[in-house]
């Protein structure tokens, strides 16, 4: 399990920062701390070193 700090989110994608890298192509399941926010699935499409962590780009699967 990874903790991810959300930097930006839309219906199609999420950009975040994590302490550890995630491989491009990895399937992920995302849970959110905000009440009433539905968990989502997605795919890591980008992972770049950024300062002391990693900037992660995730393409979100269509909401069911």
User: pLDDT for 15-38, tens place per residue?
Assistant: 999 999 999 999 999 988 888 888
Q: Which domain holds residue 12?
A: 4-60
pTM for the predicted model, two decimal places: 0.86
Which pLDDT band holds residue 56 (cuts at 50, 70, 90)?
very high
- Across the range 45-56, mean pLDDT stands at 95
Q: Tokens 């905000």, residue?
A: 34
Split into its structural domains, the chain has a count of: 1
C-alpha span between 20 and 13 (Å, rounded): 19
């Amino acid at each position: 399990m990874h903790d991810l700090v959300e930097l930006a989110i839309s219906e199609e994608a999420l950009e975040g920062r994590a302490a550890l890298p995630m491989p491009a192509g990895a399937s992920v399941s995302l849970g959110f701390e905000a009440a009433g926010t539905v968990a989502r699935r997605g795919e890591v499409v980008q992972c770049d070193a950024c300062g002391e962590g990693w900037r992660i780009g995730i393409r979100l699967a269509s909401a069911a």
